[in-house]
Amino acid sequence: MSAVVAEHDDHHDDHAHGPAKGLLRWVTTTNHKDIGTLYLLFGLAMFFVGGGMAMIIRAELFEPGLQFVQPQFFNSMATMHALVMIFGAVMPAFVGLANWMIPMMIGAPDMALPRMNNMSFWMLVAGVLLLASTLFMEGGGPAGGWTMYPPLILQTGKALPFAVFAVHLLGISSIMGAINIIATIFNMRASGMTLMKMPMFVWTWLITGFLLIAIMPVLAGAVTMLLTDKFFGTSFFDAAGGGDPVLYQHIFWFFGHPEVYVMILPTFGVASTIIPVFARKPLFGYSSMVYATASIAFLSFIVWAHHMFTVGMPVAGELYFMYATMLIAIPTGVKVFNWTATMWKGSMTFETPMLFSIAFVVLFTMGGFTGLMMAVAPSDFQYHDTYFIVAHFHYTLVPASVFILMAAGYYWLPKWTGHMYNEKIGQLHFWLSAISVNILFFPQHFLGLAGMPRRIPDYAVQFADWNMISSIGGFIFGASQLLFLYIVIDTIKGGTGEKVTDEVWEDAHKHGLEWTLPSPPPYHTFTTPPAVIPTEHI
Amino acid sequence: MSTTDAYYIPHKATWPVIGTVGLVTMLAGFANYLNGSSIGPTLMVAGLVIFIIMLTGWFTLQATESESGMYSTQVGISYRMGMMWFIFSEIMFFGVFFGTLYYTRYLSVPWLGGEGTGAATKELLWPTFEATWPTNGPKGLGLDASGARVFGAELEPMGAWGLPFLNTLILLTSGVSVTWAHHGLLAKNRDQLIKGLIATVALGFLFVSFQAYEYHEAYTEMGLTLGSGIYGSTFFMLTGFHGLHVCIGAIILSVVLFRSWKGHFKPENHFAFEAAAWYWHFVDVVWLGLFIFVYLM
Of the candidates A162, A172, A240, which has its C-beta nearest B141's C-beta?
A240
Kindly give, in sequence order, each residue whose CB lies less than 8 Å from that of residue A253, ignoring residues fewer than 6 positions away.
Answer: A304, A305, A307, A308
DSSP codes joined into one string, A90-109 = IHHHHHHHHHHHHHHHHT-S
CATH 1.10.287.70 holds for B1-71:
yes
A394 given a catalytic annotation: no
Residue A250 falls in the annotated catalytic set: no
CB contact under 8 A, A187 and B77: yes
| A110 vs B: CB within 8 A | yes
Compute the C-alpha angle A188/A191/A192, nearest 5°: 125
The one catalytic residue among A197, A280, A454, A537: A454
Q: Does A147 touch chain B (CB under 8 A)?
A: no
Instruction: Determine contact: A180 vs chain B, CB below 8 A.
Output: yes
Nearest-5° angle of CA B199, CA B206, CA B59? 65
The better pLDDT of the pair B3, B240 is held by: B240
- Helix, strand, or coil (residue A3): strand
Give the C-alpha separation, A514 to A4, whole Å. Answer: 10
Distance from the B52 Cα atom to the nearest Cα atom in chain A, whole angstroms: 16
Element containing residue A252 per DSSP (H, E): helix A245-279
The answer on pLDDT for A19 being more than 90 is: no
In CATH terms, the superfamily for domain B75-296 is Cytochrome c oxidase, subunit III, four-helix bundle (1.20.120.80)
Say what the pTM is.
0.95
Question: What's the pLDDT score for residue B1?
Answer: 32
Q: Which CATH number among 1.25.40.10, 1.20.210.10, 3.30.60.50, 3.30.1490.20 corresponds to the domain A38-516? A: 1.20.210.10
For B197-231, the pLDDT digits (tens) are 999 999 999 999 999 999 999 999 898 999 999 99
- Please report the pLDDT score of residue B45 as a whole number: 97
- Nearest chain B Cα distance for residue A118, angstroms: 6
A81: annotated active-site residue: yes
- State yes or no: pLDDT of B155 exceeds 70: yes
Predicted confidence (pLDDT) per residue in A434-470, tens digit: 999 999 999 999 999 999 999 999 999 999 999 999 9
Q: Which residues in B lie closer than 8 A to residue A35 (C-beta atoms)?
A: none
Q: Is the pLDDT of residue A6 over 80?
A: no
Helices then strands, each counted (H, E), chain A: 17, 2
Alpha helices in A314-456 (DSSP H): 315-327, 329-343, 352-375, 377-383, 387-396, 403-417, 423-449
Contact call for A214 and B92, based on CB within 8 A: yes
The mean pLDDT of A64-89, rounded to a whole number, is 96
Region class of B147: left (phi > 0), else alpha (psi between -120 and 50), else beta: left
Instruction: For residue B175, give how far its alpha carbon lies from the nearest alpha carbon of chain A (Å).
Output: 25
Question: Would you give the distance in Å from CA B175 to the centre of its chain?
Answer: 16
On whether the CB atoms of residues B203 and B169 are closer than 8 A, the answer is no
CA dihedral A270, A272, A274, A277 (to 10 degrees): -150
Catalytic residue, candidates A100, A205, A248, A261: A261
- Is the predicted pLDDT of residue B57 greater than 80, yes or no? yes
| Beta-carbon separation of A168 and B27 below 8 A | yes
pLDDT at B63: 94
Question: Can you spell out the DSSP letters for B173-233?
Answer: HHHHHHHHHHHHHHTT-HHHHHHHHHHHHHHHHHHHHHHHHHHHHIIIII---TTSHHHHH
Note the pLDDT tens digit of each residue in B24-49.
Answer: 999 999 999 999 999 999 999 999 99
User: Which one of A164, A233, A244 has the shortest CB-CB distance to B149?
Assistant: A233
Distance CA A497, CA A520 (A): 14
User: CB of A302 within 8 Å of any CB in chain B?
Assistant: no
Q: What is the ipTM of this complex?
A: 0.95
A537: pLDDT strictly greater than 80? no
pLDDT at A2 exceeding the cut of 60: no
What is the percent of chain B where pLDDT is above 90?
84
Going by pLDDT thresholds of 50, 70 and 90, the confidence category of residue A533 is low
Each domain of chain A, given as residue ranges in start order, spans 38-516
CB contact under 8 Å between A234 and B82, yes or no, is no
A244 and B108 within 8 Å at the Cβ level: the answer is: yes
- Rounded to whole angstroms, the Cα distance separating A513 from A190 reads 11
Contact assignment for B137 to A243 by CB distance below 8 Å: yes
The distance in angstroms from the start CA to the end CA of chain A is 6
Nearest-CA residue of chain B relative to A131? B28
Per-residue pLDDT of B86-98, as tens digits, reads 999 999 999 999 9
Taking the C-alpha atoms of residue A281 and residue A345, their distance in angstroms, rounded to an integer, is: 9
The rounded distance, in Å, linking the Cα atoms of A486 and A509 is: 28
- Among candidates A119, A214, A236 on the partner chain, residue whose Cβ is nearest the Cβ of B20: A119
Contact residues, A window 20-39, toward B, CB-based 8 Å cutoff: 20, 27-30
d(CA A466, CA B257): 69
The whole-chain average pLDDT of chain A stands at: 93
Is the CB of residue A520 less than 8 Å away from at least one CB of chain B?
Answer: no
For residue A419, the 8-state DSSP code is: B
State pLDDT tens for residues A197-244.
999 999 999 999 999 999 999 999 999 999 999 999 999 999 999 999
Of B14, B19, B236, which has the smallest distance from its Cβ to A28's Cβ? B14
What letter represents residue B56's amino acid?
T
Cα Rg of chain A (Å, integer): 23
Among B272, B248, B250, B268, smallest CA distance to B260 is for B272
* Higher-pLDDT residue of A369, A4: A369
H-helix or E-strand containing B142?
strand B142-143
- Residue closest to B222 by CA, chosen among B159, B163, B165: B159
- What confidence category does residue A14 fall into, taking pLDDT thresholds of 50, 70 and 90? very low
The residues that bridge with B150 in the sheet, in sequence order, are B142
Residue A126 contacts B where some CB pair is shorter than 8 Å? yes
Asked whether the beta carbons of residue B81 and residue A232 sit closer than 8 angstroms, the reply is: no
DSSP string, A274-292: HHHHHHTSPPTTHHHHHHH
Q: Could you state, in order of their start, the residue ranges of all structural domains in chain B?
A: 1-71, 75-296
Q: Do A236 and B100 touch (CB under 8 A)?
A: yes
Residues sharing a CB contact under 8 Å with residue A465, sequence separation 6 or more, in sequence order: none
A69 close to A60: Cβ distance less than 8 angstroms: yes
Q: Distance between CA B133 and CA B110 in Å, rounded?
A: 9
Establish whether A339 is a catalytic residue: no
Find which of A11-15, A291-295, B64-68, B158-162 is predicted with most confidence, using mean pLDDT: A291-295
* pLDDT digit string, tens, across residues A146-201: 999 999 999 999 999 999 999 999 999 999 999 999 999 999 999 889 999 999 99
Question: DSSP label at B7?
Answer: P
Closest CA to A520 of A538, A494, A496: A494
Report pLDDT for A1: 39
* Residue A17's pLDDT band (cuts 50, 70, 90): low
Alpha carbon B111 to its chain's center: 32
